[in-house]
Amino acid sequence: MAIEPSLLDTCTSHLKTCLKSIHKVIQNANEILCGISQPSVCSEVLMSSRGTDYISGVIEVYRVSKRMEGGIKTFSIDCERLQLVLRDIELAWNNLQAFLSICPSVLQKLPSPSVFDYEAKKMSSDLGLCLQRCCGVCLLERLDQQVSSEPIGNMLQFGGRPYHLSCANFWLHCVDSSLPVLSCHSNCSVCVKLKEETK
């Protein structure tokens, strides 16, 4: 199901803003590692507890971008600007992995590409796609534990909307101090049903 044209611009703008921030974080990680001239020093930094925590955080940021990519595909958002930013993120991520190759023990801790494949994870709703039921940042519903390494309860409710913890965390720290709230399309059967139930 595609998002209504009236909502598409707002949705695309919010996605682009978040994806650009993700690209900046991954690009900064590349610049930090590139600035370390000696491989032995870089390896020492990566093996330290602070270095490991930092790389874990960057991995989680990349995971948010892959969720967003899955949400974009789920809602059939066809936007060249978003595809360009996603491509830039992928290039920066591949470059970062090349830096991490100097430290095999850190490289081995990276999740396999299949862990980031949110496109294959189907929306759980039998009623169709509803923005009100999706994470306000990445546009994916609660993930199914059978097809995800993430726990099922990994969502929080804020202002009547669900958010993945890492999506909300990234948005609040790197994009804006207020979580995004996207309205659903006017003929959404889930929203109509919820309105009838609350009358």
Alpha-carbon torsion, ordered 29, 30, 31, 32, to 10 deg? 50
- Give the C-alpha distances (Å, rounded to integers) separating 47 from 51, 53, 102: 6, 10, 11
Pairing state between β 161-164 and 155-158: antiparallel
- pTM, to two decimals: 0.82
pLDDT at residue 188, as a whole number: 65
In this prediction, the residues of the chain whose per-residue pLDDT falls under 70 are 1-6, 119-129, 142-154, 185-199
Domain boundaries, the chain: 5-198
pLDDT at residue 67, as a whole number: 93
pLDDT, one tens digit per residue, over 25-38 is: 999 999 998 888 78
- C-beta separation of 162 from 155 below 8 A: yes
Q: Which residues pair with 163 in a beta bridge?
A: 156
**Residue (of 66, 74, 59) closest to 11 by Cα position:** 74
- C-beta separation of 184 from 130 below 8 A: yes
